């Protein structure tokens, strides 16, 4: 009988021990978040023309590996990409550095040094690239230094970005071959400066974000060819209502019509350009439409590009895109209409 109280006490102790250990584990301090994050992505694509000289094809669009490091207000980001033969015909390598910069956080924003995305206009949301990208305005990281910051003003916010362009890099441009500096041999963009400011008005489900961008960069052409300075000025606005967004952008370019004529490079010409877009985001399906148009003043030539698309995201890390392209080519490039479906599948880990 004397052993019964001891046995009962031992049984109670064994019963409450897992609960106590679980409580202790719950109350233990959380592990610090990793200072390094990384992402692997692979994109395959298929082209199905419905009008024009193109032929059907399937290809490995590109693969990428990106990593970021942040600690005590300092950090770095790098993204490498690769595809057999390079992404554009003028790429000099199958593997290239898309972005690579170090940064330090200050009271006026992040100071960045290295290879960075442009701080100009609206981001290109299309799969293939719109006329702004094809003429070298967007999707063109360059080497330099810059400042990126944001400040809250009540419920609203002001964002700004400034960048000095030391040298362009042809191996990361989305420019179409034969359009501008990236695809012209022995030509570089350098000694440039660009800036962007945008203000977000927040009214619950409704937001309005106007922005203004300016850029001026020297086009240094090799082999004794004359260079010139190219200046862009753009205004844009984005209006959102819940999952729906309407976008617009106008661009004015000051180039050199004479050099554009002799080099047969339309992106060097003086010009006006515009963008109008629509986007609707549902839980697993997104719809968008982007129109871009460009008028080359010196050549008195115009081209337009319509790009409706459906994007399906059945689960995180899987994105399937069907984009249709209707492009009216400028007369100086033979004119005509090119219509095609572009199918894309992106896997992200």
Residue 335 forms part of a structural domain = yes
Stretch 317-330: mean pLDDT? 97
Provide the pLDDT for residue 34: 58
> Has residue 275 been placed in a domain?
yes
pLDDT digits (tens, 9 = 90+) for 17-48: 344 434 444 444 555 555 899 999 999 999 99
Q: What is the pLDDT of residue 13?
A: 36
Give the pLDDT mean for 316-328: 97
Check: CB of residue 300 under 8 Å from CB of residue 272. Answer: no
Question: Do 37 and 67 touch, CB atoms closer than 8 A?
Answer: yes
Residue 243: how many CB atoms within 10 A of its CB?
12
Q: Which residue has the higher pLDDT, 26 or 342?
A: 342
pLDDT in tens, 251-280: 999 999 999 999 999 999 999 999 999 999
pLDDT band, very low/low/confident/very high, at 325 (cuts 50, 70, 90): very high
Whether residue 25 is contained in a domain is answered as: no
pLDDT confidence tier of residue 16, bands split at 50, 70 and 90: very low
Q: What is the pLDDT, as a whole number, of residue 123?
A: 95
pTM of the model: 0.87
Q: Within a domain: residue 9? A: no
- CATH of residue 74: 2.40.160.10
Residue closest to 247 by CA, chosen among 256, 258, 255, 235 = 235
Q: Which residues, in sequence order, are CB contacts of 193 under 8 Å at separation 6+? A: 162, 163, 164, 165, 215, 216, 217
Q: Residue 214: is its pLDDT beyond 70?
A: yes
* Kind and range of the H or E run holding 7: helix 3-27
What's the structural domain count of the chain?
1
- Which pLDDT does position 217 carry in this prediction? 97
Q: Is residue 1 part of a domain?
A: no
Query: Does some domain include residue 21?
Result: no
Average pLDDT of the chain, as a whole number: 91
Q: Mean pLDDT, to the nearest integer, of 148-169?
A: 96
Residue 125, pLDDT score? 95
The Cα–Cα gap between 100 and 145 comes to 11
**Structure confidence at residue 29 (pLDDT):** 56
State the pLDDT confidence band at 6, using cuts at 50, 70 and 90.
very low
Instruction: Specify if 292 maps to a domain.
Output: yes
Q: Could you write out the DSSP letters of every residue in 326-344?
A: EEE--GGGT--EEEEEEEE
Calculate what percentage of the chain has a pLDDT beyond 90.
87
Question: Given this model, what pLDDT does residue 33 score?
Answer: 55
Long-range contacts of 148-151 (CB under 8 A, 24+ apart): 148/109, 148/110, 148/112, 148/119, 149/108, 149/109, 149/110, 150/109
pLDDT at 35: 87
- Tens digits of residue pLDDT in 72-124: 999 999 999 999 999 999 999 999 999 999 999 999 999 999 999 988 999 99
Question: Could you tell me the residue range of the domain that residue 331 belongs to?
Answer: 33-348
Would the pLDDT of 56 be above 50?
yes
Residue 5 domain flag: no
**What is the predicted pLDDT for the residue at 173?**
93
């Amino acid at each position: 009988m004397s052993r019964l109280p001891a046995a009962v006490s031992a049984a109670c102790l064994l019963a409450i021990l897992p609960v106590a250990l679980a409580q202790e584990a719950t109350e233990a301090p959380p592990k610090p978040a990793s200072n390094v994050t990384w992402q692997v992505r692979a994109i395959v694509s298929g082209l199905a023309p419905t009008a024009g000289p193109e032929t059907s094809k399937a290809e490995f669009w590109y693969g990428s590996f990106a990593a970021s490091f942040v600690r005590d207000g300092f950090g770095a980001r790098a993204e490498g990409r690769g595809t057999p033969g390079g992404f554009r015909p003028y790429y000099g390598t199958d593997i290239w550095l898309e972005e690579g910069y170090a940064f330090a956080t200050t009271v006026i924003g992040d100071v960045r040094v290295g290879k960075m995305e442009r701080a100009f206009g609206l981001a290109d949301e299309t799969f293939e690239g719109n006329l702004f990208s094809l003429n070298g305005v967007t999707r063109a990281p360059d080497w330099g230094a810059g400042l990126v910051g944001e400040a809250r003003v009540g419920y609203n916010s002001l964002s700004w970005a400034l960048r000095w362009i030391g040298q362009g890099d042809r191996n990361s441009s989305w420019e179409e071959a034969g359009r501008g500096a990236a695809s012209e041999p022995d030509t570089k963009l350098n000694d440039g400066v660009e800036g962007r400011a945008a203000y977000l008005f927040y009214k619950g489900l409704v937001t309005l974000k106007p922005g203004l961008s300016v850029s001026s960069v020297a086009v240094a052409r090799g082999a004794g060819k004359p260079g010139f300075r190219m200046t862009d000025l753009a205004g844009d606005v984005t209006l959102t209502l819940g999952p729906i967004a309407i976008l617009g952008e106008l661009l004015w370019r000051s180039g050199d019509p004479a050099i554009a004529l002799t080099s047969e490079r339309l992106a060097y010409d003086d010009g006006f350009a515009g963008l109008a877009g629509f986007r609707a985001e549902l839980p697993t399906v997104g719809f968008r439409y982007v129109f871009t148009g460009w008028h080359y003043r010196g050549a008195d030539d115009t081209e337009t590009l319509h790009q409706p698309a459906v994007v399906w995201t059945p689960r995180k890390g899987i994105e399937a895109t069907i984009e249709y392209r209707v492009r009216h080519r400028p007369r100086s490039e033979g004119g005509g209409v090119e219509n095609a479906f572009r199918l894309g599948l992106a896997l992200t880990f």
